[in-house]
Amino acid sequence: MILITGGAGYIGSHVNKLLNNSGYETIVLDNLSKGHKSAVKWGELVNADLSDRDKVREIFQDNDIEAVMHFAAFSSVAESVEEPEKYFKNNYENTLNLLRIMKEFRVRKFIFSSTAALYGIPRSIPINEDSELKPINPYGESKLMVENLLKDESDFGGLKYVSLRYFNAAGADLDCEIGEDHNPESHLIPLVLDAAIGRRDSISIFGDDYSTPDGTCIRDYIHVNDLADAHLKALQYLEEPFNDSNIFNLGNGNGFSVREVVDTCKKVTGIDFDVKIEGRRPGDPDILIADSKKAEEILGWKPKITELEDIVESAWNWHKKIHV
C-alpha cells in the first residue's frame, strides 16, 4: 500500500491514478482544504490533516504502508510572502510529524514534492541539481528546510528518499478525468484559458522588460502526466535495495516565454482575447529551465508530452469540461 498525502490535489491525483493503473494499491490522505474529493477516483480517501498525529498514526496502524508520497503542502509563492508562518507550519512542521510517524512504524521509503523555487534566481541556465540553493520566498525556504531534514534522516536515521524538484507543472490527464483546479488560481496557463473561455476579461502579462528575447519570463512547462511517470519511476528506484536516496530535477528542458504561452493558448482554443502588459510580479526570475539529465540517466525517465501545444491542448480539454 502506498500512502499519498495531498492525493486530492493537482499533481497528487495524477500520481494516484497512474499508481493504481500500474498495479499499486493506494490510500490518499487529504484535508480537502485545496484538493477535491472528486479527484480521488482511485484508492481510498481519508479526510485528515497531517497535524492530527493520532489520525495519521491510525492510518499506519490499519494499513501495511510500504512507501509514502508526500504532496500535501501549500504552494502559492505570493501567499507565502504574505503569511510565511502558515507555510513553515504546513510545509515543514507537518512533514516533520509525518516523518516521525513513519519512523515509529518503520516505513522508510519517501518521495517528496520539491520545487524549482529552491534555486531562487539561478546563476546559469539550464539548472542542474548541483546549482546553488537560494530560495527567495518562504515557500521555497519551507521546501528547502524539508530537503535538509530528509538529507539528515537519510544520512543518520535510515530513511530512503527521492526528492523531485518540479519546474512548472502544466496540462491535465489525457482522459480528462482529473486536472488543474485551484481556487483562487494563480498559474499562467489556467488563467489564460479563463480569458479564452470568458471567465475573465483579459490576461495580464507581468512584465515585458526581462532579459529574454521577447522581454517576458521564460519557464519550463512540464506535463503533469510526465511528472506522474517520474514518481512511479522514483518508487521503483526506491524499491531496489541498493539504491541510495537521491534528488532529481523534473522539467522538459524547453523554455517558453509568457508571450509564447499566451499565443499558443490563442492558437489551440481558436479564441482571441485581450492581453494587457502590467508591471513585474515581485520575485519572478527571468528564466527557469531545467537540466533533467540526471533523472533520464538514473531513473530512465524522459518527458513524453514536450510540445507546448500538446500541453495546452490537454489543459484546454479539461478546462472546457469543468467550466462550460
Q: Note the residues at the interface with ligand UFG (CB under 6 A).
A: 75, 77, 115-117, 139, 168, 186-188, 191, 203-206, 217, 219, 258, 281, 284, 288
Beta bridge partners of 114: 165
DSSP-based three-state secondary structure for 95 = helix
- To ligand UFG, the closest distance from the beta carbon of 187 in angstroms equals 4
- Closer to ligand UFG by Cβ: residue 17 or 259: 259
- To ligand UFG, the closest distance from the beta carbon of 191 in angstroms equals 5
Return the axis-axis angle of helices 53-62 and 94-104, rounded to nearest 10°.
40
Q: Which residues contact 98 (CB under 8 A, 6 or more apart)?
A: 5, 50, 56, 68, 70
- To ligand UFG, the closest distance from the beta carbon of 135 in angstroms equals 9
- To ligand UFG, the closest distance from the beta carbon of 95 in angstroms equals 16
Are residues 163 and 147 in contact, defined by beta-carbon separation less than 8 angstroms?
yes
Query: How distant is the alpha carbon of residue 320 from its chain centre?
Result: 22
Element (H, E) at 317: helix 308-323
In the block, residue with C-alpha cell 492510518: 59
Catalytic residue among 10, 24, 139, 161: 139
CA angle (230, 233, 234) in 5-degree steps: 85
- Closer to ligand UFG by Cβ: residue 42 or 167: 167
Extended beta strands in 73-198, E state: 109-115, 160-166, 168-170
Active site residue 210: no
- To ligand UFG, the closest distance from the beta carbon of 52 in angstroms equals 25
- To ligand UFG, the closest distance from the beta carbon of 115 in angstroms equals 5
Q: Which residues contact 203 (CB under 8 A, 6 or more apart)?
A: 191, 192, 194, 195, 262, 273, 274, 275, 276
Neighbours of 227 (CB within 10 A): 25
- 100 DSSP 8-state letter: H
Are residues 290 and 250 in contact, defined by beta-carbon separation less than 8 angstroms?
yes
Task: Catalogue the active-site residues.
Answer: 139
